[in-house]
Structure 1
Amino acid sequence: MAIEYVLRTALERHIISTRRHFTDVVQDIRAEIDARASAGGPADRLAMARCPEAGPDRAAALAPGVSRLVRLVLDRPSTTAELARTLPDVGLYCPVSILVQQITDGGTRLSYDSVAGAIAVHQDEAATAVAQSFDAEILALLRRVADRD
């Protein structure tokens, strides 16, 4: 007999808006990830999966006011493994996603749901510390890219 329960988690979504062009933002994020890929061992690398971009018609259907949309999926195997040691549910939150949206007025919006916020309900101090460090790295990258001229 199966048992089902619902665990309500808090969502901590970071939204960063910039006047930078969508293509430049996406290229800069990919370039930073690629540059980091050569540092450290394979498990310590921040890796990005290639995800298809939603063009203007599909993006507008998904999100009114958005002309282009891409989801970037990032993972660091060592971080995921460290989190999974104490919190097996981490597989629901890692790898992480960054949603990059080109707004019809020409700006770009970056959205990121923090891992620390998602796992807060579990009240695991060790996992929270690892997740906060990972979130800080991702958010620093996004802020750096958004602030470029």
Structure 2
Amino acid sequence: MRLIVGNPLIMKEMVKHVPDAGSYAPVTILIDERSDGVHVSYDTMESYLLPYGSAEALAVARNLDTKITTLLRECAR
């Protein structure tokens, strides 16, 4: 299952600092079942924006990543 999720207000904040950030939205979460169990994959927004070197955009990205990983952990319980 592939989930495509996003919040335009968060992306708007990142795009103010790094215009290219818009190309990474919305984020994708992949949930798949393999022989060893269910796997959840998510490429962090921080990893996408790190090369741009904007501390402001990275702060927003880290906050977004925290929200998403917290949500995924809560769902996995």
Specify the TM-score bucket, using the shorter chain as the normaliser. Answer: over 0.9
1:122 to 31, 36, 52: 52
- Does the alignment pair 1:144 with 2:74? yes
C-alpha displacement at 1:104, in angstroms?
3.0
Q: Which residue of 2 aligns with 1:90?
A: 21
What does 1:50-69 correspond to in 2, within 5 Å? none
Coordinate RMSD, CA, aligned: 1.0
- Equivalent pairs counted in the alignment come to 77
Q: What's the CA shift string for 1:78-117, capped at 9, x where partnerless?
A: 0011111111101221110000001134x21000000011
After TM superposition, where is structure 1 displaced by more than 4 Å over at least 4 residues in a row? none
- Does the alignment pair 1:79 with 2:10? yes
Q: Which residue of 2 aligns with 1:7?
A: none
Q: Select the structure of larger CA radius of gyration.
A: 1
Structure 1: how far apart are the matches of 2:3 and 2:21? 18
Structure 1: how far apart are the matches of 2:67 and 2:61? 10
Q: Which residue of 1 aligns with 2:30?
A: 99
| TM-score normalised by structure 1 residue count | 0.50
Q: What's the CA shift string for 1:97-146, capped at 9, x where partnerless?
A: 000001134x2100000001111011100000000000000001111112
Q: Which runs of 5+ in 1 are unaligned?
A: 1-69
Structure 1: how far apart are the matches of 2:50 and 2:25? 14
Look up the equivalent residue of 1:118 and give its one-letter code.
Answer: Y
Look up the equivalent residue of 1:78 and give its one-letter code.
Answer: L
Structure holding more helix per residue: 2
Q: Which runs of 5+ in 2 are unaligned?
A: none
